[in-house]
Each structure stands twice: as C-alpha cells, then as structure tokens.
Amino acid sequence: MRTLSRIPFPRLRPRSLWRSRVPFSPEEARRTENWLATARVLLAGSALLAAWMDPGEIRSIWGYALLDFYVIHGLGIMFLLRSRQRTTLPFRVLVHGADVIWPGVISLFTTGQNNPFFLFFLFVIAAAAYRWGVWETVMTSAASVSLLWFESFAFHSGWIESLNQLLARVDLALLHADAAPFEPQRLFMRSIYLVVMGLLLGYLAEQQKNLRAEKDQAAKLLGMVRLDEGLAGTLSQILGELLKLYGASRALVASRESGSQKVWVGVLESWQGVAELKWTDSGQGGFNVYLQETAFSSCYASCREEDGAKAFDIVALNASEMLVKAGEVGFLRRFAEAHPFKRLMAVSYTYGPELSGRLFLLDPMIISGAEEDLSFLHNLVRQIGPAIYNLYLLRRLRRRAGALERARLVRELHDGAVQSLIGVEMQVDVLRRSHPVAEPVAMELVRIQHLLREEVMKLRELMYQMKSSDMDARKLPGFLRDTVQRFQRETGIAADFLMDDEEFTLPAPICRELARITQEALVNVRKHSGANRVLVQLLASGGWWELIVEDNGAGFPFNGRVSQSELDAVGYLPAIIRERVKLIQGKLTVESRPGHGARIEVWVSPLPVEQAAATD
C-alpha cells in the first residue's frame, strides 16, 4: 500500500472536469470586460501623460502614434461594451490578442526594459488571469515572451534596418528603435520575469475560479434540498448531481440510525434523466462492509491487482482534512468484493446522535488531484449534511405527529361514534324485545340492529388500520396477535396466531403492508367465508418470511392452487390484497377448496425494495 503525502508548494495540473464546466455567466463576463476596459483606458491615458511629462521615454513619433491609437482603441472598446448587452467569446479573444501584441510593438520605441510601459505586459497577463485561468495566463505570458524574442530576431536579422530604409525612401519618420533591450542577455531575465508573473497570477486566478465553482456547486446542491421532494427524492437528486459532477459510474449511501444494527444502503446507478435510489438491507455483515470504523474520515482509493490480490493506493483525510495514514485496508477489500471498482471516493458523515453513514462514489473521473477533489467532497458533505439532516428530522417529526393524530382520532372514534352506535343498537334491541310489534316492523328493527352492529365493526377495523400505520418488525408480531384475538372476540369465529421463534427482521414498510393484508383477509373471512375457524401464521422459510391466512369456510369459486399472475387475470382475490403484495414485491398464492376453505400465502424477502423505501 502506498499513501500519498502533501506537497508543500502548489502543483500545476488540469482543472477538474466539473470545475472547467463552470464558465462565467453573461453578466459576469460583461462586468469583467467593463472593468478591464476601464483599466485599459486609465493605463493608456497615464502612459500618454507620462510621455508628455518626460518625452525621453519614447524615442520615435511612431511610439506616440501607437500610444494615441491605443487610447482610442480603449475608448472604442468601452463604447462597444456600453452599447451591447453581452460580450461574445470571439470578441474577448480579439481584444485580448490586441492587448498581447500592443506592448510588444510599443516596446520597440521605449528607452529600456525599466520604462513604465512595461506595465502593459503585466496588464495583459492580469487580464488573462481575470478572464480565464492558469493555462490561459501561462499561454499569454508565453505569447508575450515569444513576441519579444521575435523582435530580437528581427533586429539581428536586419529586418528593422530594412524597414527604416523603406520609410526613408517614402519620406516618413524612422523607427529609431533601440536594439539594446533586445539583446539575448537582457531579454532572458525579462522573459523569466514575464513567465513567473504569468504562473503566479494564473495560479491565483485558478484558485479563485475553483473557489467560485465550488461555491456555486455547493449552492446548487443546497438548492436541491426541498421539503416537497422529501428525503428520498432529495437524496436521489443530490447523488445524481454528484455522479454527474465527478463522472462516476455509481453512487452508494450507507446509513444507520442510532440504536439499530441495520445498515441501509441506497444505490444510484445513473444520473441520466430521473433516477431513484434503490434501497436494500445490507444484511448481518453490512456494518463491516460499509461502515467499519477507520483511521480516516474520507479517502480516495485506486484498486489494482498485485500478485493475484487486490492492492490499494490511498489518499486519506481525517475529520480536520489533514492527510493521515490509511492504516488497515480490510474495509476497502471487503467493499471491493461487494462492489468492484477501479477508483473510489468515500466520505463518512455523522449528523446528530441519530444518524451516521458513509457516501461512496465508484470510478470517479479525477484529473486535478485526488486530495483536492476529496477535500471538496468532504466539505460538500459537511455543508449540505445539516439540511438533509433537517429533512430527516422533519420526516420523523411528521411520522410521530401523524401517529399521535391517528391515536387521537382512534380515541375520539372509540369514545364518541363507536359508543354512540353501540348505545343506539342496544336501544333498538330493547325496543324490539319490550314492545311487541307487527312482523314487518320487527324484521325492520332486526335489520337496523344488524346494520348498526356492522357499522361498529367497520369503525373498529378502521381504528386498527390507523394503528397499523406506525409499524415495524418489533411491533408486528404483537399487533397480529392482538388483531387475531380481537377478531375472535368480535365475530365468535375461533382464531389462532402462530409464529416462528426466530428473530423477526423485516423493514417497516413491509411490516405495515403485512399488517394491512392480514386485516383485509380477516375482514373477507368475516364477510364472505362463513367459516368457524381461521388460522394466521408468520413463518420463516428459506430466507423468506411467509404470511398465511387459512380458514375452513366456503372458499373461492375455483378449486386448486392459483399464482398471482392467474389471480390478476381472473380477479378472484380482492384487488387491495393483490396491490399491497405487488407494492412490497412479494409472492402471492391462493389455494381454494370450495366448501372446505381457502388458504392465502404471501411470501416476502427480508431485503427491502425501492418502492417500500419510497413509502417510508
């Protein structure tokens, strides 16, 4: 294993792909050009004033003409910028090209390399840094140096002398160019100075561009945290943007709530179009694969084969963004076995006492330096984390508030409507028994009494359905047992509940649907089967859990065992049960023996599905 160390001086390297995709907005570009145009005019005007105060700075009338032309050129650019609403890239490149050429030409007519006109070289380098970044600035300084060396070559090749002879023949002023500043010995230090200034200004501009890009990207991701999208939708959008940002092939987020050993893993395969996280339970060994404690908080790892085994080159940062030794890499080896990768970025997070986890980006496109991009991702997770954590708390608060509201409604129904209906039903019964009436009236009173009793049972079933909304693996067995016992008390139908002694592990959304499926099945038994006995079982079988509701009633109008696809075709079983089984991606089978009873079997996997997670 090899751990990269921090290099104490700035490294010149290509920009990250996502940083290079963050250009100036039209408003920013126009504002930049306005500032540069103002600086250009002020600099040219100051140079003209300096030449007027000290005429010896310029050796030829051609120099004054060029300086006057440059002042007019600067004023013309200012006029164009004020008359146009936006600036185009060709316009900026053309203006920049003129700024590169003009200092080289005016330097022919100045009195030495220490004259004030040398500031025009610095202006054009600073303009490149202000407009673009490090490589454009370095190219600008290289172009300026190349132009100076071309002029040196022109002096030594006799081109300047030939041009003076041509001007003399047409009775024009001579150039009076000074060849001394263009001697290679003097020009060498001048060139080094320009290149070094280009590197320094370009590096500062690049850092500023990176900071602006990072700030814009963080603001964009924070803007994706929206209440109307919910926690699942927000995570999908943010992970999709991170996939797009780094060009990664896949994103994973592993999360664990306090007090629970379960690790939930959300996987996002693509950022193209609308994508949703697919949630799965990592199983018993999930903690060691995804969330094992390490000496680092964030890491970038590249995987390679070495002597038939996986080896890793790692850049690791602690919580303070300092480089640390990665230490034991067993965590990475186990993760690579579960999710093969060539490159990996992983960032740990902890939000409050309730939530912790780790974010993974598989095969990201890192071209600007692993440490820099890893540090940015680390900061990004730290910045947007509180907003996501607030969504998580809001979801918990809403669920808790919903549970309290449902409990209040249940109490009000029990103490109000249910009791009133029971009282009315008892009064009707007393009236029917104490006052002899005609047969039709007595039959009508019996019908009203049965109708009131049926409404009471429906209200009680609704109350229990409301209680089942807040359901998890810990509550489901007790809830099913209470439901079966209540069914027996209210209907007089013998009912039993059986369950394996194994530890019950199912996600909350699936538990909620199983509770509602059981309730719906018992309602059907009461209304339609005519059974005098029913058995509800919750059994573990081959890694799956099986819910069975069996009765000895009339059965369905078919004989034999029917799968879910056949049930959808004939529509024998109530649609609500079929839809709930589909929602949790379970398997449904119905066995019917007309006149002897029916058996409903629902098979579910302990691994949650994305539909179940989305409803949580």
3-state secondary structure 60-105: CHHHHHHHHHHHHHHHHHHHHHHHCCCCCHHHHHHHHHHHHHHHHH
The order of strands in the sheet holding 587-593 is 494-499, 533-541, 544-551, 597-604, 587-593, 560-563
Q: pLDDT band at residue 11, thresholds of 50, 70 and 90?
A: very low
- pLDDT for 612 equals 37
Please tell me the least confidently modeled range out of 144-153, 234-243, 456-465. 456-465
Mean pLDDT is highest, among 56-70, 307-321, 448-462, 497-511, for: 307-321
Taking a C-beta distance cutoff of 8 angstroms, is the pair 376, 347 a contact? Answer: no
275: its two tokens: 């994508």
Q: What is the mean pLDDT of residues 574-583?
A: 78
Strands 323-324, 250-257: pairing is unpaired
Identify the CATH class of 226-396: alpha beta
pTM of the model: 0.56
Q: What is the mean pLDDT of residues 592-615?
A: 69
First to last CA, the chain: 42
Q: What is the mean pLDDT of residues 488-516?
A: 81
Q: Would you say residue 58 has pLDDT above 50?
A: yes
Domain 470-616 has CATH 3.40.50.300: no
Q: Would you say residue 247 has pLDDT above 50?
A: yes
Please state, for a pLDDT cut of 90, what percent of the chain lies above it. 1
Q: Would you say residue 522 has pLDDT above 80?
A: yes
* Closest by CA position to 505, among listed 282, 288, 278: 282
Please tell me the least confidently modeled range out of 62-66, 314-318, 341-345. 62-66
Mean pLDDT is highest, among 309-313, 402-406, 599-603, for: 599-603
Distance CA 399, CA 350 (A): 22
| 11 vs 272, residue with greater confidence | 272
Distance CA 591, CA 600 (A): 7
Q: Would you say residue 265 has pLDDT above 80?
A: yes
- pLDDT for 228 equals 74
Distance CA 279, CA 276 (A): 9
Please tell me the least confidently modeled range out of 93-102, 140-149, 291-300, 499-508. 499-508
Please state, for a pLDDT cut of 70, what percent of the chain lies above it. 82
- pLDDT for 469 equals 56
Q: What is the mean pLDDT of residues 363-368?
A: 76
Q: pLDDT band at residue 226, thresholds of 50, 70 and 90?
A: confident
Distance CA 467, CA 465 (A): 5
CA dihedral (198, 203, 209, 213) in degrees, to 10, reads: 150
Asked if the domains 226-396 and 470-616 are classified in one and the same CATH topology, the answer is no
Distance CA 533, CA 496 (A): 8
Q: What is the mean pLDDT of residues 144-160?
A: 85
Q: Would you say residue 1 has pLDDT above 50?
A: no
Q: Would you say residue 399 has pLDDT above 50?
A: yes
Q: Would you say residue 179 has pLDDT above 80?
A: no
- pLDDT for 580 equals 82
Residues in a beta bridge with 345? 300, 361
Element (H, E) at 53: helix 26-53
Q: pLDDT band at residue 6, thresholds of 50, 70 and 90?
A: very low
Mean pLDDT is highest, among 192-206, 225-239, 379-393, for: 192-206
Domain positions in the chain are: 13-221, 226-396, 470-616
Q: What is the mean pLDDT of residues 599-609?
A: 74
